[in-house]
Amino acid sequence: MTRLTAALFAFLLSAFSVIAQVKRTTSTSTTPYFPDRPKLVVGIVVDQMRYDYLYRYYDKFGENGFKLLITQGFNARNNHYHYAATYTGPGHAAIYTGSAPALNGIVGNDFYDRKLGRILYCTEDTTVRTVGNNGGAGQMSPRNMMVTTIGDQLKLATDGRAKVVGVALKDRGSILPAGHAADAAYWFDSKDGNWITSSFYRNELPAWMKAFNARRLPDEFMQRKWDLLLPADKYTESTTDDQPFEANLPGETKSTFPHEFITVSGQNRYEVLRATPYGDQLTLQCALAAIDGEQLGKDNITDLLAVSFSSPDYVGHAFGTHSVEVEDEYLRLDLQLAELLTELDKRVGKGNWLAFLSADHGAADIPGFSQTYRIPAAVKSFGEVGESVKAALTKAYGPGQWMIGYYNQQIYMNTALLAEKKIPMAEVYALVRATILPQRGVINVVNLHDLSATALPDNQLTMLKNVYQPNRSGDFYVMLQAGWFEGRSKGTTHGTTYAYDTHVPFLLYGWGIKPGQTFHRTAIADIAPTICALLGILEPSGCIGNPVGEAIE
């Protein structure tokens, strides 16, 4: 070995020794190493946002809200729900679990639980207590959800070091996205105007939330009124303001601007704020307070903030999809979204955070509105199906509680009584179908126990398969004609398998996102695996979706 070669060998030996020492130091450090990830993931759900709103109001949006996500992020333009129960609870659960009601158990906002033998609210939990006041609105938790969420997987991937927080006016809009392992979920109590949580998460509100409640923003908003953001003649994407098929806000006698906030007697003094853009302002300010209070996105461990804007749902239900109120709500929500995105840049750092936006369901046009365009649509009385089925069963089999109830367009039969009397389900289905099918607005009656025998388009069958959970679903699904719904003489609703309820936005923006768009059909179940793929973590336990690879940088 020459002198030069010996010197080079000694140098390399020394270098390897230093590298080994660095590795040993790193492996025993108290700060664990995590792969390259954003500091914060922000999930945004807009309650009752149809896909077409993105473009109907596009020209009136500012540059830093919805437009920013569309033009500088990734837009999955053909994104649909993959199951039949397009309601708030199932929607929030599906977005964050990548699953379906058949697996995650959230088959409706309320549903009949056969094991309990009663109606169960999706986040109901009588074993916990309210934290934040003395009422009962905090007896909630995610225990009825049977699988994990994005937040749960992030907790598992970081040995619990990641922080996960949910914020929404609605309890189910906060709790289900946050998941089982969350640090907290916070929601609004209309009784006293406070944001509360549950002892499932903690035994006392943190100091920052106490300080936020002490600001009494609801009282400030109750002193105002809801007037138009723009001159009335600028609302060209909507009908005129005075329509007979629109509902009124609590305490009001008219459905036109300006909307005065009239205090309604009873315990829910602040309920009216939910159905106005002030509900979005409350949600935004609470979310910003949570970022600071929980120090989200302040270290090298990815945190998750799940924010749901609930007010569009209240406004949409009351006034409908083509109302001036809905247009004004979305123009104002665009301002709140712009503020949120701007504040994320300031508080977490531009390029350090990842956001996605979707909706828990869409909405039908009000039948009264559709009829002005000669489009088939109507309202069916809520008791029309259930009462006719009860009468037919009694006539066929004699007195008895043959049917337990009719919820979420599903008929729940008393399976124990049918078994006792040895009456086959197929026989009952034939009777029920013959009873309901001739009714106005009914297009099909489906036996959820035998979907393979049903003649329906494949995507409709898939939606029904994905909603069927034996212990929580009904036996027969009543499919109404497009444009029809039950139980509302004014305003609108959702919950069907039709495109107006299933087609919702899916926007991605920020860290790791490649700007662009796709028209390939994507599903709500694809959201969670896309986020988990970006983070390099395992997808939720009940996930049935696939990552949208085109969106990933």
Closest to 106 (Cα-Cα) out of 128, 81, 123, 125 = 123
Pairing of strands 74-76, 506-510: antiparallel
Three-state secondary-structure class, residue 10:
helix
Which is the catalytic residue, given 86, 88, 123, 321? 88
Q: Identify whether the C-beta of residue 196 lies closer than 8 Å to the C-beta of residue 140.
A: no
| Structure tokens, 38 | 């954003």
In residues, how long is the chain? Answer: 553
CA–CA distance, 26 with 263 (Å, rounded to integer): 61
* Spatial CA neighbour of 217 closest among 267, 314, 285, 132: 285
- Token pair recorded at residue 368: 């009264």
Strand partners, 380: 486
145, 176 contact by CB (below 8 A): yes
Bridge-partner residues for 198, per DSSP? 130
How many other β-carbons are positioned within 10 Å of the β-carbon of residue 228?
17
Question: Considering only CA atoms, which of 132, 131, 112 is closest in space to residue 121?
Answer: 112
* DSSP string of 80-130, one letter each residue: E--SS--SHHHHHHHHHHS--HHHH---SSEEEETTTTEEEETTB-TTS-E
CA distances to 110, 137, 359, 548, 549 from 164, rounded to whole Å, are 26, 21, 20, 23, 25
Neighbours of 26 (CB within 10 A): 11
Helices in 179-228 by DSSP H: which ranges?
Answer: 207-214, 217-222
Question: Residues marked as binding?
Answer: 109, 170-172
CA-closest candidate to residue 171, choices 225, 203, 220, 132: 132
Contacts (Cβ under 8 Å, ≥6 apart) of 427: none
Q: Rounded distance, CA 486 to CA 493, Å?
A: 9
| Phi and psi at residue 370, to the nearest 5° | -60, -40
Whether 2 is a known active-site residue: answer no
Residues 259, 262, 266, 269: is their CA dihedral positive or negative? Answer: positive
Alpha carbons 133 and 366: distance in angstroms, whole number: 38
Q: Binding site membership for substrate: which residues?
A: 109, 170-172
Do residues 150 and 527 lie in contact, with contact meaning Cβ atoms separated by under 8 Å?
A: no
Quick one: tokens of 303?
A: 């945190």
Q: CA 174 → CA 91, 152, 163, 261, distances in Å? A: 12, 14, 15, 26
Catalytic residues, by residue number, are 88
